[in-house]
């Protein structure tokens, strides 16, 4: 389906687009309530139908009956590596380069501290101003912890290249920006940073599972990402860390937990890191969360990533062209790239009443989210979002703007999670 041609697609065109969609069958593999349009899979992925059964088996059989024996008999101990290998296949990594563990924040800490060890003599951690806060805060925390021996430096996106001087130990960037949806050219930037002697850490939270990622093709050093967004691992799902094989031996983990030990059940007083990626495990894995994550990743593994990307771009283009046509002069400004080639799987719009408009949309059963100070975010998880959903979502938005439905007191009240 053409989404940005001379004529605007109508609802029937969108239905035809869905009928021809090679990914259409995936939608039925998710729990999705009729009448709800879910455009927030970039924040919390929808629930795969297989997950409840998988979790019930882990709870009732493995935990309920197997009890402690299941660490050995149900593969619990191997889970972080097994799930890591499955995620590796989605992000251009090899088996043994990814482990599922902890949160993205904690994995950022592991990657930053490993990069500092691998790049002695350099003291700057570089990132983009306005990057996702946890990425920034982990850098600032290290600056305090290392008491002046490390500097956390932030520059505007356009200045990253120029800021790669001889002091930079590591560059940490989110591949797709959480607010604007702008995607970096991973290969070009990795090359530029490495040419300047820096190591690169990619935060894939908004790209893995929605667009093709080729970490080894780009020569990346480290990567991290969330399990609960496009990987559909469930609220608070474990995250993952990628460490290129060539770096694994050179950086003993700063978070030297017993599960990263070469032989945790030797209970040795001395820490001997595991030989490979498992040294980046820390404590006991969250078995239930890991089981849900594995179900999400297994489902995604069935999809063709190129088809996923193509549909994601079309959904975004469709949303933008419909918004321009159906919501003119309503105070919206596009906050994401209009060129799908440099946009992740989301569209962002500025509006001074963005929060209230999003609450009115959610009330009308179109679920996106809001990012302060003024951004409405709409994510397109191509496994389950249809063209017709985009059409209906923008039609609802136009209606809300036309009759000022957002201008009700209850829509102005800020919830804890926006």
Ligand X SMILES: Cc1ncc(COP(=O)(O)O)c(C=O)c1O
Residues known to be catalytic: 132, 203, 228-229, 377
Is residue 113 part of the contact set for ligand X (CB under 6 A)?
A: no
Stretch touching ligand X by CB under 6 A, among 19-27, 103-111, 189-197, 328-336: 103-111
Residue 209 beta carbon to ligand X: minimum distance, rounded to whole angstroms:
13
Is residue 87 part of the contact set for ligand X (CB under 6 A)?
A: no
Closer to ligand X by CB, 11 or 129: give it.
129
Torsion of CA 186, 188, 192, 194, to 10 degrees: 60
Query: For residues 206 and 344, is the Cβ–Cβ distance under 8 A?
Result: yes
Torsion of CA 370, 376, 378, 379, to 10 degrees: -50
Is residue 134 part of the contact set for ligand X (CB under 6 A)?
A: yes
Residues 137-176 that bind ligand X (CB under 6 A): 174
Residue 211 beta carbon to ligand X: minimum distance, rounded to whole angstroms:
14
Closer to ligand X by CB, 176 or 388: give it.
176
Closer to ligand X by CB, 104 or 113: give it.
104
Neighbours of 24 (CB within 10 A): 15
Tell me which of 171, 239, 292, 357 binds ligand X, using CB under 6 A. 239
Residue 214 beta carbon to ligand X: minimum distance, rounded to whole angstroms:
19
Residue 150 beta carbon to ligand X: minimum distance, rounded to whole angstroms:
20
Query: For residues 38 and 315, is the Cβ–Cβ distance under 8 A?
Result: no
Residues 322-341 that bind ligand X (CB under 6 A): none
Query: For residues 198 and 171, is the Cβ–Cβ distance under 8 A?
Result: yes
Tell me which of 51, 70, 79, 104 binds ligand X, using CB under 6 A. 104
Is the C-alpha dihedral spanning 348, 352, 358, 361 positive or negative?
negative
Per-residue x/- mask for ligand X, residues 187 to 226, rule CB under 6 A?
----------------x-xx-------------------x
Residue 338 beta carbon to ligand X: minimum distance, rounded to whole angstroms:
22
Rounded CA-CA distance 27/312 in Å is: 14
Closer to ligand X by CB, 206 or 351: give it.
206
Tell me which of 105, 140, 194, 338 binds ligand X, using CB under 6 A. 105
Residue 220 beta carbon to ligand X: minimum distance, rounded to whole angstroms:
16
Rounded CA-CA distance 50/38 in Å is: 19
Stretch touching ligand X by CB under 6 A, among 15-23, 72-80, 131-139, 352-360: 131-139
Per-residue x/- mask for ligand X, residues 276 to 315, rule CB under 6 A?
----------------------------------------
Which of 350, 359, 304 minimizes the C-alpha distance to 330? 350
C-alpha distances (whole Å) from 95 to each of 41, 73, 206, 209 are 27, 22, 22, 17
Query: For residues 356 and 415, is the Cβ–Cβ distance under 8 A?
Result: no
Stretch touching ligand X by CB under 6 A, among 81-89, 99-107, 122-130, 138-146: 99-107
Rounded CA-CA distance 326/319 in Å is: 10
Is residue 132 part of the contact set for ligand X (CB under 6 A)?
A: yes
Residues 6 or more apart whose CB falls under 8 angstroms from that of 258 comprise: 264, 283
Closer to ligand X by CB, 174 or 232: give it.
174
**DSSP states of 99-154 as a string?**
EE-S-HHHHHHHHHHHHHHHSTT--EEEEETT--HHHHHHHHHHHHHTTTSSEEEE
Distance, CA of 344 to chain centre: 10
Which of 169, 168, 197, 200 minimizes the C-alpha distance to 184? 200
Bond prior to 409 in cis (omega within 30° of 0) = no
Q: How many residues bind ligand X (CB under 6 A)?
A: 13
Stretch touching ligand X by CB under 6 A, among 132-140, 143-151, 155-163, 247-255: 132-140
Tell me which of 55, 77, 103, 350 binds ligand X, using CB under 6 A. 103
Closer to ligand X by CB, 240 or 406: give it.
240
Residue 227 beta carbon to ligand X: minimum distance, rounded to whole angstroms:
8
**DSSP states of 182-250 as a string?**
BBP-HHHHHHHHHHTT-EEEEE-TTTTTTS---HHHHT-SEEEE-SSSTT---TT---EEEE-HHHHTT
Q: Where do contacts with ligand X occur on this chain (CB under 6 A)?
A: 103-105, 132, 134-135, 174, 178, 203, 205-206, 226, 239
């Amino acid at each position: 389906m053409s989404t940005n041609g001379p004529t605007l697609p109508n609802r029937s065109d969108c239905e035809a687009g869905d009928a021809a969609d090679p990914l259409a069958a995936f939608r039925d593999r998710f729990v999705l309530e009729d009448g709800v349009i879910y455009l927030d899979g970039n924040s919390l992925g929808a629930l795969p139908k297989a997950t409840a059964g998988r979790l019930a088996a882990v709870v009732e059989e493995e935990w309920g009956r197997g009890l402690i024996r299941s660490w050995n008999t149900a593969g619990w101990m191997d889970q972080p590596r097994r799930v890591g290998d499955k995620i590796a296949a989605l992000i251009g990594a090899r088996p043994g380069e990814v482990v599922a563990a902890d949160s993205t924040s904690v994995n950022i800490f592991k990657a930053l501290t490993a990069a500092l060890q691998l790049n002695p003599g350099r003291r700057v951690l570089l990132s983009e101003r306005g990057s996702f806060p946890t990425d920034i805060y982990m850098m600032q925390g290290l600056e305090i912890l290392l008491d002046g021996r490390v500097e956390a430096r932030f520059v505007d996106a356009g200045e990253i290249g120029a800021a790669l001087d001889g002091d930079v130990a590591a560059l940490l960037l989110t591949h797709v920006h959480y607010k604007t949806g702008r995607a970096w050219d991973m290969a070009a930037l990795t090359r530029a940073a490495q040419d300047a002697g820096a190591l690169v850490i990619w935060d894939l939270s908004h790209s893995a599972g929605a667009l093709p990622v080729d970490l080894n093709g780009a020569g990346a050093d480290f990567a991290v990402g969330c399990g609960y967004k496009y990987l559909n691992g469930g609220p608070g799902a474990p995250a993952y860390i990628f460490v290129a094989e060539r770096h694994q031996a050179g950086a003993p983990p700063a978070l030297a937990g017993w599960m990263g030990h070469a032989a945790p059940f030797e209970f040795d007083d001395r820490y001997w890191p595991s030989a490979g990626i498992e040294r980046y495990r820390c404590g006991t894995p969250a078995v239930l969360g890991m089981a849900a994550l594995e179900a999400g990743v297994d489902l995604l593994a069935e999809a063709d990533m190129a088809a996923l990307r193509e549909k994601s771009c079309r959904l975004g283009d469709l949303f933008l062209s419909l918004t321009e046509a159906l919501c003119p002069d309503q105070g919206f400004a596009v906050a994401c790239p209009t060129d799908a080639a440099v946009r992740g799987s989301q569209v962002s719009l500025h509006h001074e009443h963005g929060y209230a408009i999003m609450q009115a949309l959610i009330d009308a059963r179109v679920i996106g989210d809001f990012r302060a100070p003024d951004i409405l975010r709409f994510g397109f998880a191509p496994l389950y979002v249809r063209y017709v959903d985009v059409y209906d979502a923008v039609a609802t938005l136009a209606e809300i703007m036309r009759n000022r439905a957002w201008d009700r007191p209850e829509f102005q009240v800020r919830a804890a999670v926006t």
